[in-house]
Chain A
Amino acid sequence: MGTPESTTTERTIRTRAAELTDQPLTLLTVAVFWTWLVVRWTNDFLLDGALIERGTSFFPTAPFEAAASALGSLAASLGPVGFPVGWVAGFFEFLAASIPYLPELAIGVWATILLTVLGIALGFVIAVPLSVARVYGGTITRSLALGYTELFRGTPLLAQLFVLYFATPLTTVIRELPTVGTGFIPAQAFWVAVIAFTLNSAAYQSEYIRSALNSVPEGQLTAARAIGLSKVDGIRHVVLPQGLRYAIPGWSNELVYLIKYSSLASFITVRELFERTDAIASETYRYTELFVLAGLFYLALVISASLLMEYVEEQVAIPGLGTTGR
Chain B
Amino acid sequence: MSDPLLALDDVYKSYGEEQVLSGVSFEMDAGDVDVVIGPSGSGKSTMLRCVNRLTEIDSGDIYLDGDCVTDADTDVNELRKQVGMVFQDFNLFAHLTALGNVTLGLRKVRGMDKATARERGYEHLEQVGLSDQADSYPAELSGGQKQRVGIARALAMDPKLLLFDEPTSALDPELVGEVVEVMRDLAAEGITMLVVSHEMGFARSAASDIIFLDEGRIVEHGPPEQLFENPQAARTGEFLSRLETTHEGE
Contacts and interface: CB of A to CB of B under 8 A. Distances in A.
Given A318-B137, A320-B137, A320-B138, A227 B94 contact: no
Nearest to B150: A223
A238 to B, nearest CB: 5
Interface in B93-109: 93-95, 104-105, 108-109
Contact of A227 (B78, B89, B140, B154): B154
A266 to B, nearest CB: 41
A241 B80 contact: no
Contacts of B105: 227-229
A241 B54 contact: no
Contact of B139 (A217, A222, A225, A325): A325
A316 to B, nearest CB: 9
Contacts of A223: 85, 87, 91-93, 153
A324 B109 CA distance: 31
A219 B76 CA distance: 18
A304 interface: no
B139 A319 contact: yes
B52 interface: yes
B157 interface: yes
B81 interface: yes
A227 B95 contact: no
A320 B139 contact: yes
Contacts of A318: 94-95, 137
Given A320-B138, A325-B139, A220 B108 contact: no
Interface string A18-59: 000000000000000000000000000000000000000000
A229 B94 contact: no
Given A237-B104, A319-B139, A230 B95 contact: no
B77 interface: yes
A60 B154 CA distance: 71
Interface residues of A, number: 24
Contacts, number: 78
Contacts of A230: 77
Contact of B153 (A1, A227, A237, A242): A227
B77 A321 contact: no
A220 B139 contact: no
B25 to A, nearest CB: 24
A233 interface: yes
A226 interface: yes
A76 B76 CA distance: 87
Nearest to B102: A227
Contacts of B93: 220, 223-224, 238
Interface in A308-326: 318-321, 325
Given A228-B80, A228-B81, A319 B137 contact: yes
Nearest to B93: A238
Contacts of B108: 229, 233, 237
A245 interface: yes
A321 B94 contact: yes
Contact of A242 (B80, B91, B94): B94
A227 B91 contact: no
A219 B89 contact: yes
**Which residue of A220, A223, A225, A325 has the most chain B CB atoms within 10 A of its CB atom?**
A223
A239 to B, nearest CB: 10
Contacts of B52: 226
A241 to B, nearest CB: 5
Nearest to A236: B108
Contacts of B80: 225-228
Interface in A200-257: 217, 219-220, 222-230, 233, 237-238, 241-242, 245
14 contacts: A222-B91, A223-B85, A226-B52, A226-B84, A227-B104, A228-B81, A230-B77, A237-B108, A238-B93, A238-B95, A238-B104, A241-B95, A242-B95, A245-B95
Interface of B: 52, 54, 76-78, 80-81, 84-85, 87, 89, 91-95, 104-105, 108-109, 137-140, 153-154, 157
Given A222-B54, A223-B85, A227-B80, 20 more contacts: A219-B89, A220-B93, A220-B94, A223-B92, A225-B54, A226-B52, A226-B87, A227-B109, A228-B77, A228-B109, A229-B77, A241-B95, A318-B95, A318-B137, A319-B137, A320-B94, A320-B139, A321-B94, A321-B137, A325-B137
Interface of A: 1, 217, 219-220, 222-230, 233, 237-238, 241-242, 245, 318-321, 325
